[in-house]
Structure 1
Amino acid sequence: MTNRRDGLLTRNSGGQSRGSRIAIAVGIGVLLGCVFAFFFPHGFFTPDLANQGRRIAKASFQVGGSPCESAERVNMLKKELVSVSEKNAELKKEVKELTEKLRFAERGEDQAQKQVLVLGEQHKAGTFGTVKGLRTNPTVVADESVNPRLAKMLEKVAVRKELIVALANANVKDSLEVWFHSIKKVGIPNYLVVALDEETESFCKSKDVPVYKRDPDDGIDDIGRTGTNHAVSGLKFRILREFLQLGYSILLSDVDIVYIRNPFDHIYRDSDVESMSDGHSNLTAYGYDDVFDEPGMGWSRYAHTMRIWVFNSGFFYIRPTIPSIELLDRVAARLAKKNEWDQTVFNEELFFPSHPGYDGLHASKRVMDRYDFMNSKFLFKTVRKDAKMSKLKPVIVHVNYHPDKLPRMKAVFEFYVDGKQDALDPFPDGSDW
C-alpha cells in the first residue's frame, strides 16, 4: 500500500508540474501577444508594404511587357509631365499675382495705422468724451542744403524758427512801404521781404528792411518783375516751399496789410495751416448749415449743405510739415498748368475731400479770429459804424475787398495807430466799381 501510495503521489506531483509549465507557457504567449498587438497594431504586413509589393509586381510586369507598350507608356508619361509642368507654371504666376495684390491691399489697409505709428506710440481709446485726435503734424527735418544762402539769412532774421514773409516787386512799392512801416511801428523784428526784382531789393536795403533776392530763375524772374498781383501771388507757393524745407514756420503776408499788433502773440500753432477768413460774420467765417430749397422734390425739398467762406491766401500761417509742403506743391502745380485764381485753388486743395479719382489733402486747418485778423469788408461795412466794435484793436487789417488799397491802408494806420477817429469816414462801404 505504501509503495502504491508513493507512486501515486509521484505521478500526481509530475502532473501538477506539467500543468504549471503549460500555464506559464500560455501566460507567456498571451503576454507576447499583447506586446506585439501594442507595437504592431496593423500586423507585420502593413497595407503600404502590400501596396508596395503590388507596385513592384506591376512594374515588373510592365518591364516584362512588349517594347511597343513600354514606349507608349513612356510617351504618355512625358505628356503628363509636360502638362503638369505647364499647370505648375500657371499656378506659380497666379500665386505671384495674388501675393502682389495682397501686398498692395495690406499697404492700403494699414495706412492709417502706419501714420499713427509714425506720429507716436499707439494708445487705447479713453472713456467717453475724453478722446481727442491728433491735430499737430510733426515738423520735417530741416535740410539746409536746399538753399544754404537763405538758411544763413533766416538764422539772423527769424525768431523761434518763424517769421513774416512777403513777396513784392516794383508795382507795389507804395503799399510795401506802408506795410513795413506798420511792422516797424509795432516792433516786430522777424520779417522778410522776398524781392522779385532789383529795384525792390535796392528800395528795401535803403529803408533798412530785411530783404532776400532769389538766385536768377528765368521763369520766376520774368513773372516777378512784370507780373500782376495775381501772377505774383501764384509764385509764393513755389517760393515758400524752400522756407518750409529749411524748417521754418511762415506767416505769409500780402503787402496790402496794416499791422497793429504782433500777430505771433495771437497764433495757436496747432494746425498745418492757420488762415484769416474772407467771412464777415461768425457764420460765414466759421461755417454754417445752408439749406437748399427745391420745391419740386416735395417731402425732400430741403437739402442741407455745409458752407464756409474761403480762407484768404494772402495771409496765412503755415508750419513746416509734410501736408503743408504737399499743399504748396499741389497749388503750384495747378497754377503752372492752368490760369486759375490762386485763392480758389488754395481753398479747393485744402477742403475738397477724397472722392473717386481724387485723393484729398490730409492737412489740419484753423480759422483765425475774425476780430483780430480783420478783412476790409468787415471793417468798413460793420466795425467802423459800431461804437463798441470800433474801440476794438485788431492785430492786422487786410485791405483785400477794395481796389483803392493805398489810401485805405493809410487811413487804417491813422485810425488804429495814430488815433485819428475820423480817418475811415471818407470811404464808402464798397468800391465804386
Structure 2
Amino acid sequence: MISGRKDGPLMKSTSPPLSRASRIAIAVAVGSLLGCICAFLYPDGLFHEATSRIKSSQASSVSCNSAEKVNMLKSELVSLSEKLAELKKEIRDLNKKLQLAEKEKDQAQEQFLSLGVQRKAFPFGKEKGLRTNPSILPDESINPRLAKILEKVAVQNELIVALANSNVKEMLEVWFDNIKRVGIPNYLVIALDEDIEKFCMSKEVPVYRRNPDEGIDSIGRFGGNHAVSALKFRILREFLQLGYSVLLSDVDIIYLQNPFGYLYRDSDVESMSDGHNNMTAYGFNDVSDEPSMGWARYAHTMRIWVYNSGFFFIRPTTPSIELLDRVAARLARDPVAWDQAVFNEELAFPSHPGYIGLHASRRTMDIYLFMNSKVLFKTVRKDSSLSKLKPVIVHVNYHPDKLPRMKAVVEYYVNGKQNALESFPDGSEW
C-alpha cells in the first residue's frame, strides 16, 4: 500500500499573512524613498526641462508678434503726438483770442464805469445817452519841446493849428493877419520848411518846426495841398497826446470872429460841413427809386454831405486819437487817396462783417457861422437877409482862385465894400 506524500517543515510557511494596513505603510515608505531619490537627482523637477523648452518656444513666437505690435504702437504714438501738438496749438490760439476778448470787454467796462456809477434808466422821455468822452491823461514825455510851446500859446488847453510850407506863403499871411486883427491869441503855425519858419518869426507869429524826419520833411517841403493835408493827421496826434484840443485850420480861411466862443465841445469831433443848405449839411431822408422792384421800388436812404477835413475841432479823447491813427494809416497805404474822403469814411461807416467802426461822437457846425465858399458865393451874397449875418469864418474850399477870393471876403466883411464879391462867378472857371 502506497501511502500519501507529506510536506516537510521546509516547504510549509509558518509566518502569518500581512494585514492591509501594513501593506499601505510599506507602499508609503517606498514612495517616500523614491521621492527622496528623485528630489536628490532632479532638484528642479522631473518636467522642468520640458517645460522650459515649451516656454522658450512660446516666448520666441510672442517676441516676433510683440515686435510688430510695438512698431505699430510707436507709429500710432507718433501720430497721436502730432495731433496732440496741433490741438495744443489750437488751444493756445483760442486762449489768446479769449484773453483778447476778455481784455476788450474789461476795457469797455472800465471805460463805462469811469464815466459814472451804474444806475437804472430814467422815466420815459427823460433818458439821455452819454455824448462826451473823457479826455486822456496828458503825456509830456512824447514831445517836451512842443509841450513848452503849447504851455505859452494855448488858452484853456485849446488852440488853432495850421500846417504850411512855402507853396502857401501868401495865403498864410492873409490867414494870420486876420487872426491877429480879430484878437485870437491861441494859434500856432507848424512850419514844414525853413523859409516858413523864418517868415513866421519875422512876423511875430507863433511857430513850431518838427524835428527832422526824412519822410515827413520831404512831403512838407515839396508837397501840394493834398499831400500836406494828409500829413496833418500824423502831426496832430502829438497835440492830443499832450492833452490839448486842436482847432485844425487850412490857410485858405478868413477869421472874422473868435471861433472858440462858438464851439459846443460835446463831441470828439466838431467839424464844418461841405453842405450848402440845412438838408445837405445836417442830413436828410433820400428816396431811391428802382421801378423793376415793383411794390418795393422805393427805398429810403439817409444822406449827409461830408465834413470838411480842413476845419475841425478835435478833443484829446481815445476815439479822436484812433481816428487820426486810422486815417494816417490808410493814407500811408494808399498815397492817391483823398484825405477828406478817408476822414469821413472812418467817421461814418458803421461796424459790419469784417470791419469794426469807429465809436466817435461828432457834431456838424452851423453852416452860416462856419461858412464854406459855396454857401457864400451861391447863396448868401444874393440873399439880403443872409448877407447881413457875420460869419465866424469863411473857408474858400470850393474855389481854386483862393487868394483873390480871400481878399474879397476881407473887403466885404471887414472893410464894408458891398460889391467886393460881385465880380466872382458862383463856381470856378475851368
State the TM bucket, normalised to the shorter chain: 0.7 to 0.9
Gaps of 5+ in 2: 1-54, 56-72
The match for 1:411 is 408
The match for 1:252 is 248
Q: How does 1:187-336 map to 2 (within 5 A)?
A: 187-336=183-332
Match for residue 129 of structure 2 among 130, 133, 147? 133
Q: Matches of 1:324 and 1:115 in 2, distance apart? A: 15
Q: Matches of 2:183 and 2:96 in 1, distance apart? A: 60
The match for 2:41 is none
Q: Matches of 1:211 and 1:104 in 2, distance apart? A: 43
| Matched residues, number | 354
State the SS of the aligned residue for 1:132. coil
Q: Matches of 2:92 and 2:398 in 1, distance apart? A: 60
**Displacement of 1:418 after TM fit?**
1.0
Q: Matches of 2:207 and 2:98 in 1, distance apart? A: 54
**Displacement of 1:100 after TM fit?**
7.0
Q: Match of 1:371, as an amino acid?
A: Y
* 1:213–1:295 CA distance, 2 compared to 1 (3 A): same
State the SS of the aligned residue for 1:382. helix
* 1:139–1:110 CA distance, 2 compared to 1 (3 A): closer
CA-to-aligned-CA distance 1:281-314 (integer Å, 9 cap, x gap): 1010001111110000000000111100000000
CA-to-aligned-CA distance 1:350-403 (integer Å, 9 cap, x gap): 111111111111111000011100000000000000000000000000000000
Q: Matches of 1:199 and 1:427 in 2, distance apart? A: 32
Higher mean alpha-carbon deviation, 187-196 vs 123-132, is at 123-132
**Displacement of 1:112 after TM fit?**
4.7
Q: Matches of 1:230 and 1:105 in 2, distance apart? A: 38
* 1:151–1:371 CA distance, 2 compared to 1 (3 A): same
CA-to-aligned-CA distance 1:24-82 (integer Å, 9 cap, x gap): xxxxxxxxxxxxxxxxxxxxxxxxxxxxxxxxxxxxxxxxxxxx9xxxxxxxxxx9xxx
The match for 2:153 is 157
The match for 1:389 is 386
The match for 2:178 is 182
The match for 1:400 is 397
Q: Match of 2:271, as an amino acid?
A: S
Match for residue 370 of structure 1 among 367, 370, 376? 367
* 1:218–1:125 CA distance, 2 compared to 1 (3 A): same
Q: Matches of 1:143 and 1:105 in 2, distance apart? A: 27
Higher mean alpha-carbon deviation, 200-209 vs 373-382, is at 200-209
**Displacement of 1:122 after TM fit?**
1.3
**Displacement of 1:124 after TM fit?**
1.4
Match for residue 354 of structure 1 among 351, 356, 368? 351
**Displacement of 1:113 after TM fit?**
3.6
Q: Match of 1:373, as an amino acid?
A: F
TM-score of the superposition, structure 1-length normalised?
Answer: 0.77
Could you list the structure 1 runs, at least 4 aligned residues long, displaced by more than 4 angstroms after superposition: 92-112
**Displacement of 1:125 after TM fit?**
0.9
Q: Matches of 2:337 and 2:146 in 1, distance apart? A: 29
State the SS of the aligned residue for 1:374. strand
Q: Matches of 1:401 and 1:390 in 2, distance apart? A: 19
Q: Does 1:431 align with 2:425?
A: no
Instruction: Report the RMSD for the aligned CA atoms in angstroms.
Output: 2.5
Q: Match of 1:286, as an amino acid?
A: Y
**Displacement of 1:118 after TM fit?**
2.9
* 1:192–1:100 CA distance, 2 compared to 1 (3 A): closer
**Displacement of 1:120 after TM fit?**
2.6
The match for 2:32 is none
Gaps of 5+ in 1: 1-67, 69-78
The match for 1:27 is none
The match for 1:16 is none
Larger-Rg structure: 2
Q: Matches of 2:245 and 2:160 in 1, distance apart? A: 9
Percent identity for Structure 1 against Structure 2: 74
Higher mean alpha-carbon deviation, 300-309 vs 94-103, is at 94-103
Higher mean alpha-carbon deviation, 109-118 vs 225-234, is at 109-118
Q: Matches of 2:115 and 2:327 in 1, distance apart? A: 26
Q: Match of 1:313, as an amino acid?
A: S
Q: Matches of 1:220 and 1:95 in 2, distance apart? A: 43
State the SS of the aligned residue for 1:290. strand
**Displacement of 1:102 after TM fit?**
6.2
Q: Matches of 2:115 and 2:92 in 1, distance apart? A: 33
* 1:231–1:101 CA distance, 2 compared to 1 (3 A): closer
Q: Matches of 2:95 and 2:392 in 1, distance apart? A: 58
**Displacement of 1:114 after TM fit?**
3.7
Q: Matches of 1:419 and 1:185 in 2, distance apart? A: 15
State the SS of the aligned residue for 2:149. helix
**Displacement of 1:123 after TM fit?**
1.8
* 1:118–1:411 CA distance, 2 compared to 1 (3 A): same
Q: Match of 1:405, as an amino acid?
A: K
TM-score of the superposition, structure 2-length normalised?
Answer: 0.77
**Displacement of 1:182 after TM fit?**
0.7
